[in-house]
Amino acid sequence: MSTEAIIQQLRACFSEVQPSVLAAYLYGSHARGEARPGSDVDVALLLKPEHAAATLVGPIRRIQGELERRLRCEVDVLDLRSAPVDLVHRVLRDGVLLVENDANARIAFEVDARNRYFDLLPYLQEYRRRPVA
């Protein structure tokens, strides 16, 4: 399935009521235009903050199952609120916004995530420069 077809299918799925999803992004090889046959589909979700980490497994698995059923391929679903800062940065930098159900919440999250990333960046760069012992 082409990336454009995947984006259309994902948008159709997220256009249906997904009350816990504030925003969804396609990221990874499909978003970068580097997907190969058999590549999985990577989707990042910004969920409402009142969903505690312990309760996220249910909604995420339900959404993942629905996406896999529609796309007929493996789909990896990432919760942006619990993902590492550098991964969130890559999603926001390279990803395709599929849906936003609350623009203010999405923008606030993106601003905060970028601030956290750029605050951490000098330490990440230093860590990456050090030789592996």
**Mean pLDDT, 10 residues at a time, over the chain (133 residues)?**
92 82 95 92 91 64 91 95 95 97 96 95 84 71
Q: In this structure, what DSSP letter does residue 49 have?
A: T
Gap between the Cα atoms of 121 and 132, Å rounded: 19
Would you state the pLDDT for residue 56?
Answer: 56
Would you state the pLDDT for residue 24?
Answer: 96
3-state secondary structure the chain: CCHHHHHHHHHHHHHCCCCCEEEEEEECHHHHCCCCCCCCEEEEEEECCCCCHHHCHHHHHHHHHHHHHHHCCCEEEEEHHHCCHHHHHHHHHHCEEEEECCHHHHHHHHHHHHHHHHHHHHHHHHHHHCCCC
pLDDT per position as a tens digit, 103-132: 999 999 999 999 999 999 888 888 888 777
